[in-house]
Amino acid sequence: MEKSTSIRNYRDILIKFQSLLALVILCFVLAMMTDIFFTSSNMLNVMRQISVNICISVGMTLVILTGGIDLSVGSILALSGALTAGFLKFGLELPFFDTFIGFTIFGAVLIGILSGTALGTFNGLAITVFRVPPFVATLAMLTIARGFTMLYTKGFPISGLGQNYAFIGTGWLLGIPVPVWIALTVVAIAFFVTNKTRLGRYIYAIGGNESAAQLSGINIRKIKTIVYAIAGGLAALGGIIVTSRLDSAQPNAGASYELDAIAAVVIGGTSLSGGKGTIGGTVLGAIIIGVLNNGLVLLNVSPFWQQVIKGFVILLAIIIDKSNTRK
């Protein structure tokens, strides 16, 4: 009797920290194979590279916790990045009033975030008011936002945004890259929201059992719309970082980023059916993907094999997750 509970405790701990364990094993293997991996400059390099995916994945986690999905984040990232770059570089012309408005970096960034939030809100309203399934509604937004990006940029990148704007993506603060600070802030806020606020509890409640949540008086429409708006806003933030790092808004930026984000969330142990999962898990998932991407390049693995290996890692994560929930 005594023994079986201790085994169960042991298993529980293993399940709880499975992503962490996977990460430790992965890092250990990579460190054995190449001595560059564990250098501080490479670690900072990995952190900087995953910061965009972390921003998107945090939003994706909230959406998936409610039992939804958001496929439009990559396109929203592209559109918000393009709008930010465009407003910064060209400003806004109002032909009716014969005036021209120039934008500061702060103003342009605000436009970018607001546009992403607005598109996310649109997703939320389509899902809650018009009852379009999240998969379909955000798939439609994926195309719509990409189309608007093409319209706005006419298919050409907007480049040459200036040294000050480049600080967001390439600058350093206290020895740590600025994008990492941004990602850390996002994670800290999301951690607080999911653990300490009413909004966080409602998100889990909706994902766990939507009708029970409704019966207990939660305004499901409102909460879901807020969640999709946040996901859109965070995708926009990612777009601003990408644009700043490249000193250029690329019309095809962010293509298939939604898949990386979903992979991070899933590897992090969040259930695709909602209600179960943590921000911390997602961060681990994003780090695992980032470490894997980095390690495969460090080892100069053939690009053909890289895709196969990444696919298997995701599959493995899901299999472990499933075998735990079945028990």
Could you list the residues that contact another protein (CB under 8 A)? Answer: 34, 36, 39, 41-42, 45, 48-49, 150, 154-157, 159, 170, 242, 245-248, 250-253, 255, 293-294, 297-298, 300, 303-304, 306
Taking phi over 0 as left and psi of -120 to 50 as alpha, with beta for the rest, 8 belongs to: alpha
Structure tokens at 238: 């990612």
Rounded least distance, CB 39 to another protein, Å: 7
> Which is it for the CA torsion 167, 173, 177, 183, positive or negative?
negative
What does the alpha-carbon distance between residue 295 and residue 307 come to, in Å, rounded to a whole number? 13
**Closest approach of another protein to the CB of residue 198, in Å:** 38
Q: Shortest approach of another protein to residue 239 CB, angstroms?
A: 11
Distance in angstroms (rounded) separating the CA atoms of residues 205 and 213: 6
CA distances from 302 to 185, 232, 308, 311 (A): 35, 35, 10, 15
Collapsed DSSP state (helix, strand, coil) of residue 197: coil
Cβ-based nearer residue to another protein, 166 or 272: 166
Inter-residue contact 46 to 290 (CB < 8 Å): yes
Nearer to another protein, 255 or 320 (CB): 255
First-residue to last-residue Cα distance in the chain: 19
**Which of residues 18 and 75 has its CB atom nearest to another protein in the complex?**
75
- Least Å distance, CB 185 to another protein, is 22
Is 246 in contact with 30 (CB distance < 8 Å)?
A: no
Task: Tell me which residue of 218, 233, 247 sits closest to 119, measured CA to CA.
Answer: 233
Nearer to another protein, 293 or 324 (CB): 293
Cα-based angle 202, 212, 265 (whole degrees, multiple of 5): 50
The residue (of 63 and 242) whose beta carbon lies closer to another protein is 242
> In the complex, what is the shortest distance from the CB of residue 173 to another protein, in angstroms, rounded to a whole number?
15
Which is nearer to another protein, 29 or 297 (by Cβ)?
A: 297
Shortest Å, Cβ 52 to another protein: 9
| CA distances for 212 relative to 158, 202, 217, 227, angstroms | 49, 11, 9, 19
What distance in Å separates the CA atoms of residue 168 and residue 73, rounded to the nearest whole number? 20
Provide the 3-class DSSP secondary structure of residue 92. strand
| Residue 166 Cβ vs another protein, minimum distance, rounded to whole Å | 9
CB of 285 to another protein, least distance (A): 18
Nearest C-alpha neighbor of 234 from the set 268, 203, 258: 258
Nearer to another protein, 10 or 156 (CB): 156
How far, in Å, CA of 69 to CA of 79, rounded? 19
Q: Which is nearer to another protein, 52 or 58 (CB)?
A: 52
